[in-house]
Structure 1
Amino acid sequence: MLTDTPGIHHITGIVRDAQQNFDFYTGVLGLRLVKQTVNFNEKFTRHLFYGDETGSPGTALTFFPYPAEDDGREGKPQITTAALTIPENSVSYWEARLADRDITVEGPFERFDETVLRFADPDGTHLELVTGDSPVEPWADGAVPAEHAIRGIHGVTLLSTNVFVTASVLDTLGFELVNQEGDRVRYQAPGDRATVVDLLDRDADYGREGAGSIHHVAVRVEDEEQLYEWYHLFRERGYNVSRVKDRHFFYSLYVREPGGILFELATEAPGLTAELDLETLGQSLFLPPWLEEDREMIEGQLTPLDVSGVPGASE
């Protein structure tokens, strides 16, 4: 029997420079690089995972670096923004931290009784820091003091070609309509973290996928059996849905809903720490068993990435 998703599993974006991406998300935002692997569909492309100490579901931001990628352009259908949770008393800290690094910040401003700071990463990916409660424990050895550190994902903002159809898909997944402010409609899942999806009801030009755009958002599913039930449901409704895929750290499927947004449904287990020492997460290139025999060739094709400068304790 299908159960509602408790919230977001991870968010995946497209960037150009792996080193610049690593330096920003670890050195500026204070997240941990918990996994460096490759895109299992394109083995000569890196796939970088950031999050809390273990990259637990609801904390992970992941990126595909394509060095020759053109810039993306915001528009529909697109996931326009990834939002991260910070403590209520940390807004001033983050304003100063970002300003000290010459990062342009919009805000702070109020939205749905939350305080929001808006900015972009070096590739132009739209990010927000949003105040709120979260059970996520931040990475204690990161570059940001623990009392101000990011507490996982807050949510995403969607710009659909058909808000009514996308709203119906969110409802099917278990997100409930909870609020509206202007042209922003808020849906929320029943979990304890990474539960927010904001749907924008506005006219917009069509966008273009590229560096700085968000490729997909994944929601959490209990197990592989549930994935197959979702697969059959989406097939019955005529949606463009993939087969169930083995991503080694989880099983997943992808569905492109009629409003144009790409959703992934991903299992919570086995997780990003599978088979690895917690102390050395992210320090070397991980390859799944079916790619391990090609390691020398793969490493020779990848742009070098120096992770020896992972930031230490807080400044």
Structure 2
Amino acid sequence: MTSGLHHITAITRKIQANVDFYCGFLGLRLVKRTGGFEDAAQLHLFYGDAVASPGSLVTFLAWEDGSRGRVGHGAASEIAFVIHPEAIGFWLTRALQFGVTATGPATEFGEPVLRLTDPDGIIVKLVGTTEVEPGAAWAVRGIEAKDAITRLRGATLLSEKPAQTADFLVRHAGFETAATEGTITRLDSGSGQVVDVRDATGFWPAAPGTGAIDHVALRLPDRTAVEAQAVDLRSRGDDTINMHDRKYFYSLYVREPAGGLIELASDGPGFALDEPLDTLGSRLFIPEHFHLRPEDIVPMLPQFGLPGEPRTVYRDLPFVHRIHEPEAPDGTALVLLHGTGGNEASLLPFGRKIAPLATLISLRGRATEEGVARFFRRFGPRDFDQKDIVAEAQAFAAFVEDARHAYDLDDALLRFAGYSNGANFLAAAIMLHPGLVREALLLRPVPVLSGPPETDLSGTHIRIIIGSDDPAAGEGKILTEQLRDRGAQVTLVSIAGDHTLSDEDVNVATAWFV
């Protein structure tokens, strides 16, 4: 039967650094970019050989600035690639040249192994072997074909039940026990690819997050074979099965006995299904089952540049932030502040609609409430933490000042927009730091400062949009008067609707931005 690895999926915290490592340093080809099949707003990148062969693929879900995961039992701990044994020296030299952390070479199961650490801390092994049939190497400057990575060699699974994990892989994925070395049992496939099962009894459990491997996908020839395994698993009483059509392959997800997530994936139809081989990886695919318009999802996906392409260099500033560049920027910039429970991606579709040619800079609030992001703390529904507002407004002022220099922003072309909690915070920052913001759009705001300072806001232009059916509409009017009393020029617009944003908000905001 067809056996071996189909792909390995992990989670990255910084997509640009990930692309630079796997494409630029390792020399893999970006063969597909998609919105996530479980969350369309999550970018999913697939790397592989020149023709995206099953068995050459490593994929990454982008959790930009997300919490870090933990390596432990119930998950994979290492990704291994095939190189020619004589290429070990080349890769050790290349790691030194690129500043990539490397250890070894060492000998494991009779093969030379060089361990590298990717930008997220994931261990990547380069294994010198001729046991696996080479794939079609992708031509990259600085890496000759004889030195190139060609396929996946294997993965290491950490298991508290190593015998049961191994038995599962033998029974459902065509592997056979091949050798044992210390606490590691090596399982070999018909393709020569391996899974090493390491006895992790006494280890801490794995935790999902950035820098963690999410799952290992094993090869089956076609959908019929995947469905046959589903029947077999159910007959054994396994009720953890999920099956999905991933367009480019058909998948079954199941937990092996020690809790590790295993995917059984068909070889076809393959990644050339919707784009030719010569342009593979250049087109973004959004899974159809979300029924989303591209303009509602594409701005939420983090942007990146392939090696040699332009890219945004992010600076370490007080707030986590996301930058979205249009194809033809006009020099304007719009800073966005989300509402309660949002994040730095939430307002990007709105921002792109009202400002199609602007550079968007969207922030993530630093306060949390029951696990959701906000821009300041509160003690109750209308009891706002005044000290926190002042402190966060100070940090925001520092962010704006630093961003002006870091991203070469023109003060005359810089505007700000906030929604709900972000609008409340933006209004407070305007009053606490006069002159910081000159043009602002406040969507569904309420006043949150218990004693607004008597500052001079002359020269500040603000448009406030309230919903006629929003219970907080009256408070938006109070905020309007507070700002006007301090010299700001404020336009108050009431539209039909409640607290949620609508197409009418887009229309009114577009007129403001022009």
Q: Give the shorter-chain TM-score range.
A: over 0.9
| TM-score after normalising by structure 1 | 0.92
Q: Aligned residue for 2:199? A: 201
Deviations 1:61-116 (A, max 9, x none): 00001013211222111100010000111011000001111122110001111000
Maintained 8 Å contact 1:239/1:258: no
Instruction: Tell me the distance in 1 between the aligned counterparts of 2:154 and 2:165.
Output: 16
Match of 2:235 in 1: 236
Q: Decide whether the 8 Å contact of 1:241 with 1:253 is kept in 2.
A: no
Residue correspondence of structure 1 range 1-315 to structure 2 within 5 A: 4-133=1-130, 134-141=133-140, 144-172=143-171, 173-192=173-192, 195-203=193-201, 204-291=203-290, 293-307=292-306, 309=308
Structure 1 residues 120 and 240: alpha-carbon distance in aligned structure 2, compared to 1, 3 A threshold: farther
CA distance in 2, matches of 1:309, 1:235: 49
Moved over 6 A (4+): none
Distance 1:278 1:23 in 2: 22
Counterpart AA for 1:300: P
Letter in 2 for 1:200: R
The aligned amino acid for 1:167 is A
Q: Structure 1: where are the runs of 5+ without partners?
A: none
Deviation at 1:142, TM superposition (A): 5.6
Write the deviation string for residues 140-178 of structure 1: whole angstroms up to 9, x where unpaired.
Answer: 246522110001100000101211210110110221111
Question: Contact 1:256 / 1:262 at 8 angstroms: preserved in 2?
Answer: yes
SS in 2 for 1:154: strand
CA–CA distance in structure 1, aligned partners of residues 142 and 46 of structure 2: 17
For 2:194, the aligned partner's letter is V
Q: Give, as a single letter, the amino acid of the residue that structure 2 aligns with 1:99.
A: L
CA distance in 2, matches of 1:142, 1:77: 38
C-alpha separation in 2, matches of 1:62 and 1:159: 20
Say what the alpha-carbon RMSD is for the aligned residues.
Answer: 1.7
CA contact (8 A) 1:5 1:219 kept: no
Give the partner amino acid of 1:53: A
Amino acid at match of 1:86: I
Residue 90 of structure 2 aligns with an amino acid whose one-letter code is: Y
CA distance in 2, matches of 1:310, 1:230: 43
Higher relative contact order (CA 8 A, sep 6+): 1
The amino acid across from 1:196 in the alignment is V
**Residues matched between the structures, number:** 306
Q: Is the 8 A contact 1:124 1:211 kept in 2?
A: no
Between the aligned residues of both structures, percent identity stands at: 39
Q: What is the rounded CA distance, in whole Å, between the counterparts of 2:2 and 2:209 in structure 1?
A: 29
Cα distance between partner residues in 2 of 1:266 and 1:142: 32
**1:290, distance to aligned residue in structure 2 (A):** 4.1
Where do 5+ consecutive residues of structure 2 fail to align?
311-514
